[in-house]
Every structure is written in structure tokens, then in C-alpha cells.
Amino acid sequence: MTAMPRPVFDANPPAGGKDLGALPEWDLSDLYTGRDAPELAADMDWLKRACQDFEKDYKGKLGDLDARGMLDCIHRYEAINAKAGRIMSFAGLSYYQQTTDSDRVAFLSDCEDKITTFTTALVFFSLEINRLEESHLQGLLDADADLARYTPIFERMRAMRPYQLSDEMEQFLHDQSVVGDTAWNKLFDETIAGLEFEVQGEVMGIEPTLNFLTDPDRDKREAAARELGRVFSANLRTFARVHNTLAKSKEVEDRWRKMPTPQTGRHLANHVEPEVVEALRNAVVGAYPRLSHRYYELKRKWLGLDRMQVWDRNAPLPMEDPALVDWDRAKATVLDAYADFSPDLAELARPFFGSGWIDAAVRPGKSPGAFAHPTVTDVHPYVMLNYLGKPRDVMTLAHELGHGVHQRLAADQGELLSSTPLTLAETASVFGEMLTFRKLLAQASDPAQRKVLLAGKVEDMINTVVRQIAFYDFECKLHAARKDGEMTPDAINALWMSVQGESLGPAFDFMDDYQVYWAYIPHFVHSPFYVYAYAFGDGLVNALYAAYEDGTPDFQAKYFEMLRAGGSKHHSELLKPFGLDASDPAFWDKGLSMIEGMIDELETME
């Protein structure tokens, strides 16, 4: 309930500021003014008492509550979540600003330890809710409309009923998490943040090195790719140990819970049916030849190469303008694109820029990648970027602002209902990217500029859809294999390579050490099977955008209502007003056809 924010780490960003204008930094004082703030100490004390009082007042008594008593109980539980969320947001965001600062690391660990200890008193809550008879709970919901609003919360808790363990075991798993999976996550984060790479005589961290993979200079791209492989290989035993331990930890818990597959927990958390995910996965894999294989063959020709190497995958096109986009122009581009769709959308995004809600500069020790963290519903989201001024960084800004707007709109649902399942969490972000892309495409002054924009969008969509489904397949293979015993680094490498050739296609050769590139992907460590949510979101938005272009009546109003719903509705309910159904395999084909159509246009330009 108090998970700290996890960055997206989608692999680009280094040390910002040069020729980009004044890049904003976070002002975390809307949460707390500092680690020694008296308000933080008071909130920690309140949280301890509130958890103790909650256990004393409700443990063993939930079955005796009437509807109004259950509503009061839910409100108290929600208040505890909000207070813990505020503290952990502050600690987590402070940490991600400087992951190598020992004081911040210690502060985060202390907060996690204390809150884990306090909230042990709440473990009984979901367990007792799940022991209530269906007819009894339904009677309570039918008796009070205010309580009925929380139906999705009860449904999510009770989805775990078949997999619930004893009270003592559930409490043990809760207590030991800080020295279990959470500790391994920190080891991974700190190892990644501490890596050093030397590229053409310059020593740097992982983000500047990854950024060189998009450099116009092919020699620099190759040097960076080989150095990444060398350093990952040098640390491979650590990364293999992290993955082996976490995969085994998950296998043990899943086995005790009698979960049918390693993916079941993620599907339950995402409120999505396994067959829907399987339909998405199969549609994407079936489309590899029509999407990534075909596109990369085009790119090979544009680059004038006989064979593509892995360091050419994200290379800029020869006709691409290398000019950087300064911060003010990036801001204007995204806000204008949002305003073209709806002035209200731009107004929701505007406060991020002048209120310390964005941290954009790249600094040593700062977390790589980008994310938007909602904090708690009575504050506001915070966006992290590593802004380098590349056109793709503008798209990342549009993406994260989409998350931020979504989180602001959903905040009215309250702490328990505002959080959107991962499968829908990418909706506003990818839609914001699409709005920005379409605006830039409409402004393209010549065919070469249009070609560059189309190619860039296709690459982004392939990275979002094809790459992430390949990641998902790798995780499925890894967790299946770990059931049979310890995985050697070579065995993990082989699984990685088994999905890379299939997804990228015959245009590529793979250098020595590319087999270790699985090592730096944080989603595998922090959030197993998270990655399919990106493909889900991209396919969903492509279908949504097609409905928008087709002139669906009152589209903007329906879109805002979908975002405001947060986590209060199932994806089937949210998509119904647009005439869309994610359980229909044709839904995913429709989304993929948009990417295919862009590749068709690129082919006609040859």
C-alpha cells in the first residue's frame, strides 16, 4: 500500500542544461519542507497511532459492522493510506533525485522500515474482508450508496480470495518485505546508479552512455554499445543473483498461494483477464514481420548498410535535423498540442511548468529515465525527466504530462479509487504523445521532414509495442525456467537472445555482449510482467485515436470522463462509450494497423 515511486527507465537521457534553457527542478515542499520537518515527524506519529487504533477497533469485528460502520472503517483505512503515501512519496522522490546520496538512502530505508512495522497492524483487514460471505457483503453495499462507491476496492481485495494465506503467513510476508524483495530492488538500483562507462575517453554514468545509442556518429554508437555490454558483463554475477533471487522469491510465494501462473498476480493487479493479455501478445508477435521486420529493413536501406547492428536500432536518420529543442519550445509544443485537442487539457498541464512539479535536468546520481508519480490525492503529481533536447525528449515530456493530467483528474476519486490499473495507466500518456506527434506532422513543411517524423513515431511505437512484448516473453521464459532451478548467467542470456532475433527481425546482426542487455531493465526487477502494460496502452490509444479521427460524438467529454474514473471502473466499462472492446482480438489488430499504415506510407516515399 505504500510502494515508493518507480521510474519508467525507457532508456535515453545525460547531463542537461547546455543550450536548453533553464531546466526546472522539483520543489517537494508541498509534501514536506525537509527530512527534519516537524510536520513529517507528526505525521509519522499519527500514522503509528492510527494503525494501532484501527487494529484495536476492527480486528475480528468486520463481520459485525453495519453498512455505516463499514463505511467509517473504509474512510479510516483510506486516511491511513493517504498519510503513508505522503511520507513514502517524499522519501522516494528525494531518493530518486540523488540515488547515490547515503543520507537519502538511509532516510528512505528508515521510512520504509517504520511504515512496514506500523502497517503490519492492517494486514488483518483484507483477510477478514475476504472471509465475509458474499451475500453479507452485498447486503452492506446495497444498503448504503456511499459505501457502494467502494465496490471496486472490495472486488480487488476479493479477487485474491482463492490465493489468500493464513493470517500469520500474510503478516510474515508483509514484515519481511523490507529485507526481502525491497532490499534486492535497492541493490539493483544502487548498482545501476554506481556503474561507470568510458566512451571515447570520457567516463560517465549509464544515462549518458545509453544516450549515445541515438548519436548521429556511428562510431560513437558502436563504442557506447560495446562499453555497455562490457560493463554489464563485468557485473553479470550481481545481476544474475538479483534476478535468480527475485524470481525464486516470487515462485515460492506464488506456490504457497497456489497461483496458476507467474503472471496471475500481475493480471489480478491490473484487473485484466489473462485471455485479453494473451490476445494482445499473440496479435503483436504475429505482426512482427509486418511491423518491426519491415521497418528495420527500410531503415537499413536509409542508413546505407548491408546489415544492421544493435547500435543502429535507434540511430537518427541521415536526413534528420540534429538541432536540439530548448525547454521553452518543448513546453510550447506540448501545451499547444494539448490545447488543440481541448483547452482544458492544456490548462491541467500548465501548472507543472511553473510550480516545481517537474525535475528535468540530468545530474550525476539522479535516477535515469522518466516517470510521473501521483503522490497523494490532496497534493499533486511530480514528473521526472532527463531532458536532453532531442525530439524524442519532447515526446517523453508529452507522455509524462499525460500521466500527470490523468492523475490530477482521477484525484477526485479519493485515495483508494484514484489509482489506475497499469493497463489503463498508459492511456493519457500515450494519447498525449499522439496529440503532439500529429501536431508536428501537420506542421511538416516538406516530405523529408514528414518522413523523419513518421519514422520517429514508428520507432517509438515499435519500442513500445514490439520491444515490450518481447520483454514480456523473456520474463515468461525466465520465470518458467527458474522453477526448475538456479539460472546461470549464460542460461539467462540465451533466453534473452531467443526473443531478440524474433522481434527485431532478419536485418540485424548481434554483437558479442548484447546477450547481457537484459541486465539493466528495471521492470524485470521492480515489477515483474509490468511491461505488457505499455503495449496494452499503445494499442488501446491507437484504437481510441482512430475513434477520435472517425468523429465519435462528444469524444472529448467521454475522454475526460474516462480519465476522471481513475480506478473506479473496469476497462470494459471505460471503453464501451467509444464502441471499443479489448477482449475482441480484432481490437488489437485495429491498433496495430495504425503502425502498419505509417510503415506503408514510409514505403511509398521510397
Q: Hey, what's the cell of 56?
A: 484495536
Under the banding of pLDDT at 50, 70 and 90, the label for residue 287 is: very high
Instruction: Please provide the average confidence, as pLDDT, over all residues in the chain.
Output: 91
* CA dist list (Å): 394 to 40, 51, 149, 336, 505: 35, 43, 38, 13, 28
* AA letter at 211: N
Arithmetic mean of pLDDT, 232-258: 94
Q: Is the pLDDT of residue 294 over 80?
A: yes
> In the prediction, which pLDDT does 462 show?
95
Task: Locate 575 and state its grid cell.
Answer: 471503453
Give 414-456 as a DSSP string. Answer: -TTT-PPPHHHHTHHHHHHHHHHHHHHHHT--SHHHHHHHHHH
pLDDT confidence tier of residue 225, bands split at 50, 70 and 90: very high
Phi–psi pair at 385, nearest 5 degrees: -130, 165
Which amino acid, one-letter code, is at 328? D
Q: What is the pLDDT of residue 7?
A: 39
| Contact (CB, 8 A) for 30 and 374 | no
pLDDT band of residue 11 (cuts 50, 70, 90) is very low
Domain extents in the chain: 1-18+323-420, 31-179
**pLDDT tens for residues 146-193?**
999 999 999 988 888 888 878 788 788 877 777 788 888 889 988 998
Residues 58 and 66: their CA atoms lie apart, in Å, by: 12
Q: Per the structure block, which three cell numbers stand in for 175? A: 514484515
Residue 204 has pLDDT above 50, yes or no: yes
Q: What percent of the chain has pLDDT over 90?
A: 71
CATH entry, 31-179, from 1.20.200.10, 3.40.50.300, 1.20.140.70, 1.10.3720.10: 1.20.140.70
- CA gap 205, 197 in Å, rounded: 6
Q: For 301-310, write each residue's pLDDT tens digit.
A: 999 999 999 9
pLDDT band of 12, cuts 50, 70, 90? very low
- CA nearest neighbour of 266 among 85, 125, 421, 374: 421
- Cell readout for 352 is 507543472
How far, in Å, CA of 206 to CA of 208, rounded?
6
Given a cut of 70, is residue 9 above it in pLDDT?
no
Question: Helices 292-302 and 447-482: crossing angle, nearest 10°?
Answer: 130
Helix residue ranges per DSSP H, 309-389: 327-341, 343-349, 351-354
Segment among 14-18, 142-146, 429-433, 569-573 with least mean pLDDT: 14-18
Q: Is the pLDDT of residue 5 over 50?
A: no
Across 560-574, average pLDDT: 92
CA distance 246 to 261: 16
- Give the lowest-confidence range in 60-69, 153-162, 455-464: 153-162
Identify any residues that bridge with 121 across adjacent strands, giving them in sequence order.
none
Q: How many CA atoms, within 13 angstroms, populate the side-chain half-sphere of residue 548?
A: 16
CA dist., res. 85 & res. 91, Å (int) = 10
Instruction: Give the rounded distance of the alpha carbon of 283 from its chain centre.
Output: 22
Residue at grid coordinates 477526485 = 412
pLDDT in the model for residue 181: 86
Work out the average pLDDT over 22-49.
97
pLDDT for 14 beyond 70: no
- pLDDT above 80 for 553: yes
> Would you state the torsion angle of the CA atoms of residues 35, 40, 41, 46, taken in this order, to the nearest 10 degrees?
-160
Residue 473 belongs to what H/E stretch? helix 447-482
Q: What is the residue whose three cell numbers read 520474463?
A: 475
- Rounded to whole angstroms, the Cα distance separating 260 from 220 reads 47
Q: Which long-range CB contacts under 8 A does 197-205 form with residues at least 24 apart?
A: 197/224, 197/227, 197/228, 197/231, 198/227, 199/223, 199/224, 199/227, 204/14, 205/14, 205/364, 205/365, 205/368
For residue 302, with 0-12 CB atoms within 10 Å meaning exposed, 13-18 middle and 19 or more buried, which class applies? middle
Supply the pLDDT for residue 193. 86
Q: Which residue has the higher pLDDT, 5 or 367?
A: 367
At residue 529, the pLDDT reads 93
Spatial separation of the C-alpha atoms in residues 521 and 472, rounded to whole Å: 12
pLDDT over 50 (residue 563): yes
What pLDDT was estimated at residue 18? 62
Residues 372-393 have a mean pLDDT of: 93
Query: How do residues 395-430 score in pLDDT, each as one tens digit?
Result: 999 999 999 999 999 999 999 999 887 778 888 998
- Report DSSP letters for 13-78, one per residue: --S--TTT-------GGGT-S-TT-HHHHHHHHHHHHHHHHHHHHHTTTGGG--HHHHHHHHHHHH
Q: Quick count: other Cβ atoms within 10 Å of Cβ 135?
A: 7
Q: Inter-axis angle of helices 585-604 and 274-287, to 10 degrees?
A: 20
pLDDT tens, position by position, 65-118:
999 999 999 999 999 999 999 999 999 999 999 988 999 999 999 999 999 999
